[in-house]
Amino acid sequence: MRLWDKKLLPNLPDNQLRGQHKECSFLRGSNWGKSHFTVNYIFKYFYGTLFYYHLDVISEIDYRNKFNLWKEIKKVNINDNWKNITYRGKKLEYVRFVELPNFELIPEFTFEYIEHDRTYLIECLHNLKYAISYSTKEPKGIDLFCLFPKIKDIGYYDKTFWDSWFQSI
């Protein structure tokens, strides 16, 4: 389980994007606050931070649905209830706004996880390359620039750095 860096969402393969929706739904539901090594940091934030991250995931799914851009799978149907911050899934349904997890942190509310920095982005790219190389019949020398042509637009593009990084893995 992981929350991919938000800058990668438009570039995620279909299965990873669909999985990201499932993980966000899982975390927003009754699993909020339950320990998991790779996502424990999200529980330090107001619940709304995860909600807005999940909205970005849903927006990308809606975009792919609208323009039929799915390559590996068919259209993904998202329950519109997830677009409401007080919806917590089928088991919990809706809660009052003041009953949202970590409500007391709302004065410190941010739309971003500070843990999602350049180092985290690189870790995500490494994990994504690993996941793709084992889920497809692509050769081990995958070129992420070919798979993700928008990688140059994610704000951390330094050709020398990325070339050396791709060669090291």
> Which residue, 62, 77, 108, sits at the end of a domain?
108
Q: Are residues 125 and 86 in the same domain?
A: no
**In a 3-state reduction of DSSP, which class is residue 123?**
helix
Across residues 26-43, what is the average pLDDT?
92
Domain count, the chain: 2
Q: Are residues 73 and 122 in the same domain?
A: no
Report yes or no: 62 and 78 within 8 Å, Cβ to Cβ: yes
Over residues 149-160, the pLDDT tens digits come to: 555 555 545 556
Over residues 90-104, the pLDDT tens digits come to: 999 899 988 998 999
Average pLDDT, rounded, for the chain: 83
What pLDDT score was predicted for residue 139?
42
Q: How many helices (H) and strands (E) does the chain have?
A: 5, 0
pLDDT classification of 37: cutoffs 50, 70, 90 = confident
| Residue 140 pLDDT greater than 60, yes or no | no
**Considering the entire predicted model, what is its pTM?**
0.81
Q: Are residues 29 and 97 in the same domain?
A: yes
Joined tokens for residue 59 = 């927006």
Over residues 68-87, the pLDDT tens digits come to: 888 877 889 999 999 999 99
Joined tokens for residue 128 = 């994504």
Domain range for 61 is 6-108
Q: What share of the chain is helix, strand, coil (3-state, %, to 5)?
A: 55, 0, 40
Q: Are residues 54 and 97 in the same domain?
A: yes
Q: Are residues 15 and 93 in the same domain?
A: yes
Q: Which residues lie below 8 Å from residue 52, measured CB to CB, with a gap of 6+?
A: 111
Q: Are residues 50 and 123 in the same domain?
A: no
Report yes or no: 124 and 8 within 8 Å, Cβ to Cβ: yes
